[in-house]
Structure 1
Amino acid sequence: MGLILLFLNVFSISVIAQSKEEKQVASAVKMLIKAMIDGNKTALENISSNALSYGHSSGKIQDKAAFVKAIVSGQSDFVTINLTDQTIVVKDKTAIVRHKLSAQTNDGGKPGNVNLGVMLVWVKEKGNWKLLGRQAFKL
């Protein structure tokens, strides 16, 4: 009986730890979205891995510097971003986030709307979740 209780206790701890990691990743996603809407260069640089590969639904790929520059300059300007149907899977120091993104944009001063599916890949670097990869696709 003691062995069963020990097993259940260990299992409960691992489930709680997984939920904690998922919450941290969800928080990182929220920080990313806020930084994108605000055009906050420092926040975008802090949340992104130096090895970032940021893929657009058009097929365009940006590294960290190009991604940050496009957001900060207004070339890629998000006025609003709404995420739905988000899922998060954490495995060790890697997380995969999937969601649907609908947004109002003002890219280069031209108003528009986007509806995308997005997959984000996050890695834990020095205790913080950093965006390593992003790929969007048209819905």
Structure 2
Amino acid sequence: MTTPNHVETTIRGLEERRYNAILTGDFDTFSAIAHPDLSYAHSNGVVDSVDSYLKKCLDGFYVYHHIDHPIEKIQVHGTTALVFGEMNGEITAGGVRKQLRNKALAVWVNEADEWKLLAYQPTPIA
């Protein structure tokens, strides 16, 4: 039996893996934990699929220099986990270096006993 605490621990670990993968350029790991239907929004309103996001990362459009991603809470509803927190950091996007300060929501789904990132939505903090 999977307990809510076990699921929360699993999701926290996956969040750590996903951010580390982007920071270190380990896009195979990111791809492995991303759902094929991933909707990856950015704080400027642009939305990428897993393929378009990874292409931008591989092409150097997005370069992550530092990311801090505190988790405020995780809510588990059946086979869906909602991760509420922040994503703060420094990136270069399209050749422009930027500071990010966002509230963030990540949505993970469990299919075939495997958790995958289905959606990500940051919102800039004023």
1:3 paired residue number = none
- Choose the corresponding residue for 1:65, options 51, 55, 72: 51
Residues 83 and 99 of structure 1 are in contact (CA less than 8 Å); yes or no, is this contact kept in structure 2?
A: yes
- Choose the corresponding residue for 2:31, options 10, 31, 45: 45
> How many equivalent pairs are there?
125
Q: TM-score with structure 1 length normalisation? A: 0.82
| Cα distance, 1:120 vs structure 2 | 0.5
2:41 paired residue number = 55
Higher helix share: 1
Report the aligned-residue RMSD: 1.6
- Between the aligned residues of both structures, percent identity stands at 23
Can you give the 5+ residue segments of structure 2 that lack an aligned partner in the other structure? Answer: none
Q: Does 2:8 align with 1:27?
A: no
> What letter corresponds to residue 58 of structure 1 in structure 2?
N
| Cα distance, 1:108 vs structure 2 | 4.1
CA distance in 2, matches of 1:61, 1:49: 15
Q: What's the CA shift string for 1:32-88, capped at 9, x where partnerless? A: 001111121211110100010111121111111011112222211111110124211
Higher strand share: 2
Q: Does 2:118 align with 1:132?
A: yes
Q: Does 2:97 align with 1:92?
A: no
Q: TM-score with structure 2 length normalisation? A: 0.90
Q: Which region of structure 1 is more displaced relative to structure 2, 57-66 or 108-117? A: 108-117
Can you give the 5+ residue segments of structure 1 that lack an aligned partner in the other structure? Answer: 1-13
Q: If you compute each CA radius of gyration, which structure gives the higher value, 1 or 2? A: 1
